A and B are shown apart, each in its own frame.
Chain A
Amino acid sequence: SSHEHKLNFRKSKEVCLSYIQDAMLQKQWKRAAEFLTFYVESLEKDYSREQVGPSEMIWRIGTEILCHLSHSSMREFNCFIEQMKTLGIKRYLKVCLEHVFHLLCNGQIDEAYQNLSLAESWRFGEQTAIQDKEMKLIQAYRGLLDYYSWSKQKNILLEHGLDGFVDLSVEQEMHSSFRKAAVNLKEIIKIPGVWDLFVKCYVDLLEFYGDHNEAHQVLNEYAYNSRFPANPNAHVYLYQFLKRHGEPKKSLISALKILHDIVPSHELMIDFTTMLQKSKKRKKRRLGLEVIFAVLDYAGWKENVKAWSCLARQVKQIVISEKHLDWIKQEWDCRKDWWPAFHFSRYLAKRNWQENKSLSYEKALVAGILLGKDCKYFKYVSHQGCKAQVKRFRMLKKFVNRHNPVYLRIS
């Protein structure tokens, strides 16, 4: 590589930028700041044809450096950001928004609110229309902060309510915050996107003021509108809402269906499988089995007693009734190659026995049915259990022995 001895303005700033980049990647913030001082004069040259101009670079790099250099204060940061706001009109609202985020992360709620209000009132010819998205976000976040105020005011009132004092001005403020928040939150969740926090807050507001229909509507939209991206949380929120309001099992089950499809390992799957198992409909019970097997495919559930007890219960029921053994076979077929090593190794048998007897009990039952009484896991655990003279293990042994032929039929 030949070392260039020519240099012009553009090239030297390019090179400078690469030094800044290197320093940042190596977390040498002081060095990055040093080179940034030499880079900033590129603001005095026109780069209007470039995709990312120096003003944006300086904004982003400067922010990063100020965040990491511990001795820089919020005041310095704010001062820097105010300068950045004047640099690029096309980016004005974006800079405002990011500034607000930074303030929120540093606990400066009031300043954040002020900045949001200020930004909301900004008008600049056709730029206002162009930066419409950012404006909506700004309004949404202000709505969020209004909710936060409402929430604080509500808590104050509830506390004082116990004392018997009723503070009218706080109550009025609370309602006013509600109105402000509701307007903005409602607007933002109309746009397809992921608005978990906003939805939760909005629903909370609606529930408090008793508008359950609207809340239900909102949650339905959020979960089922195909224009919105697939979002497990949407279904969780809907489910929780329905549960809170005592909706029938049928609704609850249908709310969790899609969640099972998107996130089979979700913690609500235990509730789901439990509800399904209790159903009178065969299809639902079949689904219940499918759900619990799917849950235990995931490493996070390996040592969860509840999950194993669900599976054990369902398997036991099927075995005793001698109906629907094919269900087990279907579920087991695609798992018999790897579940033994994954769940039922001798090592795990030992460990489970040592750490959690209940876990080993449930697992042993499942292992005994699926792999037969001679499998490593069952043998070890039942032996240990019988040795320790624990009654249920003796019963377990008997049960598995009695139903051993099942294993032969499903393997």
Chain B
Amino acid sequence: RDFNERCVQCSEVNWGLTDGGRFYCRSCHNVTERTREVVNTDFIGNSRVQTIAKGSRKQEKNDGGCEWYVCEGFQLVLKKQAEALEALGVCPQMKDEILCNFWRCYLQKSKQAYCNRPAGETVKALSVCESSTDVDSEPERSSLLHLLSLSESEGDLLTDCSFASSMSKVSESTSVYSGSVDGSLYVMKNQKEKLLMTMPMTLSFCYMALLWLREPITLSELLRFVVEGHIPYLNVFQHFPEKMKLCGLDLKIFCVESWPVYEEVHNKMLELAAFLDLPRFPDITDSCFLHPDILCIKYLMEANLPDELHNWTCRVVKKIGIGEVDFLTLVPGNKSTRKVKYDILAAAVIIVVLKLLFLLDDHYEWFLSDFAEERNKINKEGSLYFEFKKWYEVVKHSLDVEQKKLDEERAKYLWRCEKPLFYSVKKKSKVLKRREMVVNLQNQFGKLSGSVRRAEKPNPSSFQLSWSEENTDGSCFHGHSLKGILQEKCGLLTAMNPDYWLCTVKLCNEKLCGHLAHYREVDFPQSYHFVLRLFSFLLRIQPSYIHDEVCMIEHKLFNKKLYKKLKYNTVLRK
């Protein structure tokens, strides 16, 4: 209503607003290109595609599609993910307040919305098909061509032969193809400049929101739920509305062909938190789920270890100060402190405790176990002494069974969905035919194999291994006692084991080689490897990452001794 310019056609000042948000002259019905800034506050809650970008917007194209921007797509993805998390028990605050505020902030900072000149505008000429060559876009186009001809190690989406053959046409017309308006921009631009969205980053957003709310889900759990299909990630684009047509470069953005990687999601989350200039996150205190004292309880239970070990984990945590609020709480942008990975940290603490009490040098733990076994034979009453050997046998058996199941699941993992993907309309019929054939073959051989297609996903559960004290076969070790391996000295309970071996004497520089230490199975005792393997399975990450954390903890724990030794050595050399 503040528009006071004269109409170009009839020189009147009599403006109205079209449905598309454009000004039109009421006298001569001339529609202008000027629009009103529209910020729709009904942001994430509405399932229709929301208008957040400005500029001319064609409502309908020939194929029934509409113009849409990539970040609208991601917005939908986040919405779906948040809903799924809510269904899993996360508080509704996460979706309605935290996540959407993070998202809004991101859009603003990356200049994709909520600002004067959205970045998408200049790209329009490139991404609409059959438009004439735009001189300005020449340099961008050549680099885009270059990008298109590269093949990725993962999604080989661009190595499709027929797509390559249509590439020769790109030089003639700028049919750099994407269903979205700014798809090519997303693929082309240097990621570091503006932190453009990727699918793994949606999980970073989720985790960030969960962390802000201190919800009882760890990152490893979140990623496991994603892989198990409880949180939309793979093929989430099938939930996009019909009008949002995906093709061409959109596939590269939204089509996922690999499981999310812990390190990648975590690092992106940190980057994101810094990018958004977020303040210090809410404190992680000792009553929070993510605090090592609490998380250790969970993992001890899951690993079928005695509850008594919890005293020891708490002692270690306290001694090296990793239970402190300032240590645990995330302060974005602070590059000096090492970022805490709560799940890996808790697992590592447990492993260090096991090493303290059992040594795990492939000899001592079995010796202690024999001793406990003898005692248990004689004394059948009261609580049983914890026998490492029995525990190892029971847990190994279950672990092997579960690992085997997991391996089969990996082999049976399905990546494609009912909604087919195609780069261009030309490819559509071929893709659809292929899809039809795949479905036919699946049915044919499915019937032959006699197996019922598992339509139901298994229910999401926080515990992958569970042990019940009600089992009479003695396979649950929660209530077992550590008496056999402890002794009293000066009123304090200490381990009978006098020794300890360090995983590594010197820590690597993480910033240079990415790891604190380099784990090779052959270099370490088998018991240690087994324990690493156990937690590696539970957390779904490589053993080496847990090993790194163990090294870190050990160095904090034995800091003084190490420091003394170093000092002693240097003195000698002088």
Contact = CB atoms under 8 A, between A and B. Distances in A.
A110 interface: no
A41 B533 contact: no
A30 B540 contact: no
Nearest to A14: B411
A12 B448 contact: no
Contact of A34 (B161, B437, B444, B449): B449
B449 to A, nearest CB: 4
B26 to A, nearest CB: 53
Contacts of B413: 7, 12, 38
Interface in A71-119: 71-72, 76, 79-80, 83, 86-87
Contact of B258 (A8, A79, A86): A8
A10 B157 CA distance: 12
Contact of B437 (A33, A36, A43): A43
Given A2-B542, A15-B410, A72 B448 contact: yes
Interface string B407-446: 1101111111000100000000001001101101110111
Interface string B394-415: 0000000001001110111111
Contacts of B414: 38, 41
Contact of B542 (A5, A10, A12, A44): A5
A53 to B, nearest CB: 12
Interface string B239-259: 000000000000000000111
B159 interface: yes
A6 B257 contact: no
A348 interface: no
A47 to B, nearest CB: 8
A71 to B, nearest CB: 8
A3 B434 contact: no
Nearest to B519: A2
A392 B403 CA distance: 79
A278 interface: no
A71 B448 CA distance: 8
B547 to A, nearest CB: 11
A196 B448 CA distance: 38
Contacts of A71: 448
B540 A5 contact: yes
A209 interface: no
Contacts of B448: 30, 33, 65-66, 69, 71-72
A2 B543 contact: yes
Contacts of A49: 159
Contact of B156 (A3, A19, A35, A46): A46
A31 B161 contact: no
Given A12-B410, A35-B411, A2 B445 contact: no
B442 A37 contact: yes
Contacts of A3: 403, 406-407, 533, 536-537
B154 interface: yes
B94 to A, nearest CB: 26
Contact of A30 (B410, B450, B536, B542): B450
Contacts of A36: 441, 445, 449
A83 B433 CA distance: 11
A385 to B, nearest CB: 66
Contacts of A31: 449
Contact of A83 (B259, B412, B441, B451): B441
Contacts of A43: 434, 437-438
A30 B451 CA distance: 9
17 contacts: A3-B403, A5-B540, A6-B258, A7-B410, A7-B413, A8-B258, A9-B415, A15-B407, A35-B412, A37-B442, A40-B441, A41-B438, A46-B160, A48-B161, A65-B448, A83-B437, A83-B440
Given A6-B259, A38-B414, 8 more contacts: A7-B258, A12-B411, A12-B413, A12-B415, A30-B449, A37-B441, A40-B445, A83-B441
